């Protein structure tokens, strides 16, 4: 092998931490209200881990999912207040906010019409779909959100396996001004190798604007350290597309 090829194949240095993001805008840290953190103690452990990894602002996003997690803005904000009080008591210098991750089914149209949705700063609504079957009426849902003044962020588009063989559909969503948020742990194969490959393809096609931890537990936290070596994450960092630090 020539010297040229040796240097060409050298892997990039890992990122030192997540200070380049600064803000994590997708996690499940309000204790006991969804499939994320179960206790206040666990939430504080996870927040401490995020702080050590370089995050300084957390916008946690509990599920609002009618059949499973029937959270409301009142439930989420009450849990946030308890969590913020605990963070203040241990003097952890991290900024903490809450929005929500909205499951898009037939109930979301009623919520848009009758409620003020919980938003990420900038009036962004984080939304997700079923992992098992393609959503119905997606164009209508996006239109209703946007015509009501919300900006739309699709959570972890790489995890919707029914679109893996229809990559043009992702591009059609971009044409509708939908922002994409990749799960950082998708880049180390946490959800499957096919999910990892689509996440990498979305990054290579410059379709990702936000990166999120989607942190639920200590297992996810441990994987975030591994992900700092991901060439796809380094590529995303170098793309100049990331908007986390604008939130």
pLDDT of residue 105: 87
pLDDT of residue 9: 60
Helix, strand, coil % in the chain, rounded to nearest 5: 45, 15, 40
What are the pLDDT digits (tens) for 152-180?
A: 999 999 999 999 999 999 999 999 999 99
Crossing angle of helices 40-52 and 218-227, rounded to 10°: 10
62 pLDDT higher than 60:
yes
Q: pTM (2 decimals)?
A: 0.94
Q: How confident is the model at residue 1 (pLDDT cuts 50, 70, 90)?
A: very low
pLDDT of residue 106: 82
What are the pLDDT digits (tens) for 84-124?
A: 999 999 999 999 999 999 999 888 999 999 999 999 999 99
- In the chain, what are the domains? 16-246 (3.20.20.140)
What are the pLDDT digits (tens) for 186-244?
A: 999 999 999 999 999 999 999 999 999 999 999 999 999 999 999 999 999 999 999 99
CA distance 182 to 174: 14
Helix, strand or coil for residue 36? coil
The DSSP call for residue 90 is: T
């Amino acid at each position: 092998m020539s010297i040229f090829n040796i240097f060409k194949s050298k892997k990039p240095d890992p990122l030192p931490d997540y200070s380049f993001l600064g803000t994590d805008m997708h996690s499940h840290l309000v204790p006991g209200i969804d499939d994320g953190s179960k206790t206040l103690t666990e939430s504080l452990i996870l927040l401490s881990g995020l702080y050590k990894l370089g995050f300084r602002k957390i916008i946690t996003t509990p599920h609002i999912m009618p059949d499973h997690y029937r959270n409301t803005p009142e439930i989420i904000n009450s849990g946030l207040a308890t969590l913020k009080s605990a963070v203040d008591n241990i003097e952890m210098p991290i900024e903490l906010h809450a929005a929500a991750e909205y499951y898009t089914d037939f109930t979301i149209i009623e919520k848009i019409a009758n409620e003020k949705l919980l938003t990420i700063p900038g009036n962004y609504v984080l939304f997700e779909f079923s992992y098992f079957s393609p959503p119905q009426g997606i164009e209508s849902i996006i239109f209703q959100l946007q015509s009501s003044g919300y900006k739309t962020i699709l959570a972890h588009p790489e995890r919707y396996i029914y679109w893996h063989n229809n990559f043009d559909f992702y591009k059609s969503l971009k044409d509708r001004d939908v922002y994409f948020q990749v799960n950082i742990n998708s880049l180390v194969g946490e959800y499957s190798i096919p999910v990892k490959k689509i996440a990498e393809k979305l990054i290579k096609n410059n379709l990702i604007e936000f990166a999120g931890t989607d942190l639920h537990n200590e297992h996810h936290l441990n994987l975030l350290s591994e992900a700092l070596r991901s060439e796809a994450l380094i590529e995303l960092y170098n793309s100049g597309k990331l908007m986390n630090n604008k939130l």
